[in-house]
Amino acid sequence: MTLSELNQIVSACRKCPRLVEYRETLPKRSSYKDEAYLREPAPGYGDPKARLLILGLAPSAHGGNRTGRIFTGDESARFLMKMLYQVGFANQPTSFSRGDGLKLSGCYITAAVKCAPPENRPLKEECDNCLPYLK
């Protein structure tokens, strides 16, 4: 299976009813009221031949759940992308949306759980459901 095929499977996943319900019904934060929330699982992205893997826990409710890309459009993205840019793994120091021009070189970013969980706390069974996507 190619990485592109895996990402298509991840993007269509509905294995965890609690996470699907949360991601699809989460109220928008007022600062993003005019933006669309993608409300779908966030697949990994970056260089498939990377020497550095960054594994986050899950997309944030108003970052990855909104943008469709983990470590994008939130405070964690501001910090991480600035650091990746400074050490040469990213072509720019920011990550605002999937179409923002960010390119990673030598680095791949993904999450253990592909959907934003309530209170940023996935259940064990939700982690187990996503585990095959990491192998």
- The pTM for the full model equals 0.93
Tell me the CATH number at 107. 3.40.470.10
The string over 112-123, giving b where at least 16 C-beta atoms fall within 10 Å of a residue's C-beta and e elsewhere, is ebbbbbeeeebe
Q: Which two tokens stand for residue 72?
A: 């994008």
pLDDT at 7 over 90: yes
Mean local confidence (pLDDT), 40-68 = 96
Q: Which pLDDT belongs to residue 93? A: 98
> Could you read off the pLDDT of 33-51 as tens digits, one per residue?
999 999 999 999 999 999 9
Per the CB < 8 A criterion, the answer to whether 95 and 72 are in contact is: yes
> Could you read off the pLDDT of 84-134 as tens digits, one per residue?
999 999 999 999 999 999 999 999 999 999 999 999 999 999 999 999 999
φ, ψ dihedrals at 54, nearest 5°: -105, 120
Q: Which pLDDT belongs to residue 30? A: 94
Q: Which pLDDT belongs to residue 135? A: 82
How many structural domains comprise the chain?
1
DSSP state of 69: S
Can you give the residue range of the structural domain that contains 39? 3-134
